[in-house]
Structure 1
Amino acid sequence: MSAAISDVSIQTGRRVLPAGACDAHCHIFGPFDRFPLPDDRSFTPPEAPEAALRRLHDRLGFDRAVIVHSQGHGRDHRPLLDALAAGRGRYRGVAVLGSDVSAEEVGRLDVAGVCGVRFNFLAHLGGAPAPQRMQAVLALVRPFDWHVAIHVTGADLMRYADLIAAIEARVVIDHMARPDLSQNLGACREILFRLLDSGRVWVKLSGADRISLAGAPYHDVVPFARSLAEHAPERVLWGSDWPHVNISGPMPGDAALVDLVAEIAPSDSLRQRLLVENPAELFGFDTPPR
């Protein structure tokens, strides 16, 4: 089993974040003595409990976060529910559901602070969901007005663009759709622009370490990320993707990722939208006064 996350990788960023700043994409795993990993998990994550996430956010200056349930815990949402209770309003959650989930269970998750459901289209996470399963889940969460998170690569974004556009809910594209920076980005950017222009789609400007070809400090990701932020400043979000599971390169520094925000969103007003106003609107946080 992978080693637990330690404070060694948690550094203090050079940037001062605005009040109410939200890490809109992070995960937790464990603690494993209370929430053991299931046999049907798609990968084995490190132990990274809510207490470690809280320490990270306190050091970096995040007041809020959206915890995305991971397939490392299979369909067991107990770690997420425990974190939401511990956060006392600091967190919102995103679930990963099967079509066999009951409306009562969705209601219980909603009361606890879950506000979205995620669909993974990546092969190592099970591949694209069956259309019937996806429609069944969407029907279950529709009465609760949850958003729909889509985890897809740039190539599959083009394949599934019409499916995404047809979703009758607010949609969030994770990690800028993970484009291949070695390819012409025009087609991927055009589709994202079109989806953003619908008024119902948001994009997370996260995962720079997954997308970058140059490595830290990931400057090669900035032009693409900034183009999205400038095109639809009212519908972009940012997330750390902590604790950075399933990566093939060096472990990214969280403070370095935060510092990259100033390059993606160079003005105070754009950072305020990216980190505070947009997540408050989408996830239901109160917006602090300027």
Structure 2
Amino acid sequence: MANPRKPDTGLPAGACDAHCHIYGPFDRFPLPPDRSFTPNEAPETALRRLHDHLGFDRAVIVQSQGHGLDHEPLLDALAVGQGRYRGVALLRPGSSPELVRRFDVAGICGVRFSFMPHLGMPDLDAVRAVIALVEPFGWHVAIHVAGTGLLDMESFIRSIPAPVVIDHMARPDIAEGPNGPVTETLLRLLDSGRVWLKLSGAERLSKAHAPYDDVAPMARRLVGHAPNRLLWGSDWPHVNLHGPMPDDGDLVDFLGWVTTAADRQAILVDNPTEFFGFPALPAGR
């Protein structure tokens, strides 16, 4: 939505949007011909305006297959942000350690794999090769699955020798309820101590509209179980969404049921600071 409302939920200092994307500007960073989809332009300047409006001080920009393996828009945003952003890359086997080192110095701290049919399912041996490539740099691994895909991926996720974050609450069929097999699998993985989860994508999970009340029972169970392992992300600018475009103010207010200040501080500030390697906030902020 072009003009999101100001959220009712107040955000603590240092709040982080742990999952968002940028596209363009296309006159500087044209889309590659081999992209898997064609996004609308959504540059860093628009992302910054959104975050200033909503009240976010930090963000993690995830490289999208809309720009493919061309990370120049992301690298430019990291430079412009001067510490406001961290990045997550897309890599293939055979990428050079020098490239990973360049990305690491720029502020990229993770690599993402999408196990989604419409984006092309990666080969697990190729995924393992990329994980081995980035492991010396201490990067995390982001996993994007949907439906019952997490059940099939559980053993593989447990085998990853790096911190893992699962995107968008693993995108279950929300009709299975807060005690369904995907949620139970998430809880087991969170209990491993090496897996984190993004409380993002409520607009994709919901079978209704804002305030996404049908997603809240699952999210409440996750927060009640492991608030120190959760992150929050907007998923702006909401590409490949089949339905009404969400208001980002509504997505922030989805956290309104997180009633304790300690849990909000953990999910929005302390957890992303630790997981993505942001500097600690100055005393008094």
- Aligned 8 A contact 2:273 2:280 in 1: yes
Matched, 1:174 2:178: no
- After TM superposition, the structure 1 = structure 2 runs for residues 73-222 of structure 1, keeping only pairs within 5 Å, are 73-127=67-121, 129-183=122-176, 185-222=179-216
Structure 1 contact 157–188 (Cα < 8 Å) conserved: yes
Q: Distance in 1 between matches of 2:181 and 2:214?
A: 18
Matched, 1:251 2:240: no
5+ long unaligned stretches in structure 1? 1-6
Task: State whether residues 13 and 255 of structure 1, in contact with CA within 8 Å, keep that contact through their aligned partners in structure 2.
Answer: yes
Classify the secondary structure of the residue corresponding to 1:241: coil
1:11-60 CA-partner distances (Å, limit 9, x unpaired): 32222210000000000000000000001100001100000000000010
Report if aligned partners of 1:262, 1:271 keep a CA contact under 8 Å in 2.
Answer: no
Report the Cα offset of residue 8 of structure 1: 2.9
Q: C-alpha distance in 2, partners of 1:146/1:33?
A: 31
**Cα offset for 1:286?**
2.2
Give the secondary structure class of the aligned counterpart of 1:225: helix
Cα deviations by residue, 1:179-230 (Å, 9 ceiling, x for unpaired)? 1012355211111011000100000000000000112221111110111111
Letter in 2 for 1:142: E
* Aligned residues of 2:113 and 2:143 also touching (Cα < 8 A): yes
Ranges in structure 2 where 5+ consecutive residues have no aligned partner: none
| Partner residue in 2 for 1:59 | 53
Secondary structure of 1:9 counterpart: coil
Q: Deviations over 1:91-132 (max 9, x none)?
A: 0000011112111000000000000000000011112x1122
Which amino acid counterpart does residue 247 of structure 2 have in structure 1? G
Alignment: residue pair count:
282
Output the CA distance in 2 between the equivalents of 1:249 and 1:9: 18
Report the residue type matching 2:155 in the other structure: D
Q: Aligned partners of 1:42 and 1:8: how far apart in 2?
A: 24
8 Å CA contact 2:9–2:255 kept in 1: the answer is no
Q: Give distance in 2, aligned partners of 1:25 and 1:190.
A: 23
Q: Partner amino acid for 1:244?
A: H
Question: 1:3 maps to which residue?
Answer: none
Say whether the 8 Å CA contact 1:20–1:287 is kept in structure 2: no
Q: Residue 266 of structure 1: which of 249, 259, 270 is its match? A: 259
**Residues in 2 aligned to 1:183 and 1:269: alpha-carbon distance in whole angstroms:** 29
**Matched residue of 2:52: which SS?**
helix
Equivalent residue number for residue 12 of structure 1: 6
Q: Which amino acid letter does the alignment assign opposite residue 219 of structure 1?
A: D
| Cα displacement (A) at 1:89 | 0.1
* Residue 235 (structure 1) aligns with: 229
3-state SS in 1 of match to 2:203 = helix
Bigger shift: 250-259 or 209-218? 209-218
Shift, 1:9, TM fit: 2.9
| Structure 2 residue identity aligned to 1:157 | L
Deviation at residue 78 of structure 1 after TM alignment: 0.3
Q: Shift in Å at residue 260 of structure 1?
A: 1.0
Q: In structure 2, the residue corresponding to 1:192 is in which secondary structure? A: helix
Provide the TM-score with structure 1 as the length reference. Answer: 0.95
What residue in structure 2 maps to residue 50 of structure 1? Answer: 44
Matched, 1:283 2:272: no
Which deviates more, 115-124 or 181-190? 181-190
Distance in 2 of aligned mates of 1:79 and 1:86:
11
